[in-house]
Amino acid sequence: MSNPNKILFASSTKNLALVRDFIESKATSYGFDERSINQIILSVDEACTNIIKHAHHYDENKHIEMEIKFEKDQIIIIMNYKGKGFDPNDIKNPDMKEYFSKFKVGGLGVPIMKKFMNKIEYVHNNSEENSLTLFKSLQSQ
Amino acid sequence: MEEFSINKKQQDNITILSLNGFLDAHTSVELEKSFEEVLSEKNYKIVVNFEKLTYISSAGLGVFMAFIENARENSGDIKLCGMSEKIYNIFDMLGFPILFEIYKEEKSAIEKFS
């Protein structure tokens, strides 16, 4: 039987809406409030957008596998993907004063994830396999 | 629900773009095209109405960053209005009110151009 907490989707921005709906239904069922649900949805959207853009270069033949778990009162979102990955924890938050004074574009996905989630883990399994995991606990609401 | 659409109207020399639906990495391309079109027609005074926008990600925020310099260099601006609390919180959390004027009502944003 297929796992209702797991989805596999083509690496396309077209699928972001589907991913957001999936996250919303799961986070709601775990008892998160509306504000936290919106934060989780946005963080996962940003994570997937980064994978689609930077690891897969918009190649719809590539895939992202997403699994949701709820353990010890926290939602755990695992994204497995192939390609060139990166650890969001290595990315320094931009200086927003400089960002605005220089009219910069992009680079805000990781700061959003870091702000809204409690923990981000990145594992580079072997030469091509990556796993990005986002955590948020019910207590952090 | 409609995924994303833009209604464009002209009021004197001000272009008003009203956004509907969700603005993410997929739909932001359409907003980029709208800005390119408006600016290429030398309309630099732009109001963006968010009343019917239900969601925004950083890809959407990036569109405003990409065009505001061009608008201001030509004595115009991109003024934002009508945001829900949920959407305003994203803009505010990242400090966007430092650079962008954000109004509750479309009328107030339009009046600021005169």
DSSP state letters, A25-36: HHHHHTT--HHH
Nearest beta carbon to residue B95 from set A12, A13, A100: A100
Q: What is the pTM of this model?
A: 0.95
Mean pLDDT of chain B: 96
Burial class (CB in 10 A: 0-12, 13-18, 19+), A90: exposed
Mutate to test the interface with A, among B53, B57, B83 (most CBs of A within 10 A): B57
First to last CA, chain A: 34
Q: What is the pLDDT of residue A106?
A: 95
Q: What is the pLDDT of residue A17?
A: 97
Cα B46 from chain centroid (whole Å): 7
Nearest CA to CA, how far is B10 from chain A (Å)?
26
pLDDT single digits (tens) A100-129: 999 999 999 999 999 999 999 999 977 789
Tell me whether residues A105 and B66 touch, CB distance under 8 A.
Answer: yes
Tell me whether residues A49 and B66 touch, CB distance under 8 A.
Answer: no
pLDDT single digits (tens) B10-22: 999 999 999 999 9
Residue A77 has pLDDT above 70, yes or no: yes
Q: Is A18 on the interface with B (CB under 8 A)?
A: no
Q: Is A58 on the interface with B (CB under 8 A)?
A: no
Q: Taking CB atoms and an 8 Å cutoff, what residues of chain A touch B26?
A: 12-14, 16-17
Please give chain B's pLDDT, 114 residues, in tens. Answer: 569 999 999 999 999 999 999 999 999 999 999 999 999 999 999 999 999 999 999 999 999 999 999 999 999 999 999 999 999 999 999 999 999 999 999 999 999 997
> ipTM strictly over 0.90?
yes
Average pLDDT value for residue range A67-92: 95
Q: Taking CB atoms and an 8 Å cutoff, what residues of chain A touch B65?
A: 103-105
Q: Taking CB atoms and an 8 Å cutoff, what residues of chain B touch A115?
A: 93
Q: Which contacts (CB < 8 Å, 24+ apart) does range A115-118 have? A: A115/B93, A116/A39, A116/A40, A116/A42, A116/A43, A117/A39, A117/A40, A117/A43, A118/A74
